[in-house]
Amino acid sequence: MPEGDTVYQAADRLRRAFDQTTLERTDFRIPSLATTDLRGGHVAAVRSRGKHLLIDVVPALGTATSAPDGVSIHSHLKMEGVWHVHRVGTRWRKPAFQARIVLQANGYEAVGFELGILELLPRAAADLDYLGPDLLSDDFDAARAVANIGAHPDAKIGEALLDQRLMAGVGNVYRCEACFLRGIRPDRLVADVDVPPLVDLCRRMLWANRLRTARTTTGRTGHNARTWVYGRIGQPCRRCGTLIAREFWRDRPDSTREDRVVYYCPRCQT
């Protein structure tokens, strides 16, 4: 499931292949960008912000453009998206009809499949300032994240952790795992939670997994040993043996879909 660490890894792969290179081919396979051609553009940076990925492209000298400072290719994986990076000529691991963008430079090719969001933003406006502090930023502002979450005392802590405007990077896996490790049910109100150590735990978990191929919150990497509660409904808690429970929440109070699953231990989490 794509979370902040997944996007960080995608940005790292893209950065190693494309940073400071000149784009030799760009193929946008969505109607709104179908005629866009960024060939000759210089890749100035590849960045991740929470669950968002940005590729900053500066136009070639003498290129007529409505964004003289360049553009940022902004993508969000949502639930199904993925970026693959490989040598040009490598056989794709997903069908071509799922590709939304193809980039080539310096012998490498990047393909974004099933991206939930793909758009071009003016580079000067691509800092995504509406997001909260990025848990995987080198200068992560923990105090601001704590203050942002604490400003919503009547919200469920499990909802607050997923609100990217408060703190960017936590998804459903880390939400469930962090609440378990802190011994709190995800439906406890923010006002009743000691927020600073919870924020610190989220930071440490994402940071530890930022470059791991197999995400783990238990410290173990076996296929069935990587999580404490997430995905383990009906299995015994690794601490107390109580069967792990599962609930479904709505993303927002006004939503008609109950598509956010929450896992917890009824005994260890109070």
What residues are labeled active site? 2-3, 51, 260
In the sheet where 71-76 sits, what is the strand order?
Answer: 42-49, 52-58, 71-76, 117-122
Give dist(CA 233, CA 264) in Å, integer: 9
Quote the tokens at residue 89.
């000529």
Burial profile 245-256: b = 16 or more Cβ within 10 angstroms, e = fewer: beeebeeeeeee
Tell me, what DSSP letter sits at residue 156? B
Element holding 42 (H helix, E strand):
strand 42-49
**SS3 for 158?**
helix
Beta bridge partners of 74: 54, 119
Q: How many angstroms separate the CA atoms of 216 and 201, rounded?
A: 14
Using DSSP, how many helices (H) and how many strands (E) does the chain show? 5, 10
Strand order in 108-113's β-sheet?
A: 25-28, 99-105, 108-113, 82-87
Q: In one letter, which amino acid is 153? A: P
121 burial via Cβ count (<10 Å: 0-12, 13-18, 19+) = middle
> What does each C-alpha distance from 205 to 33, 173, 181 come to in angstroms?
37, 11, 11
Contact 175, 169 (CB under 8 A): no
Phi, psi of 195, deg, nearest 5: -70, -45
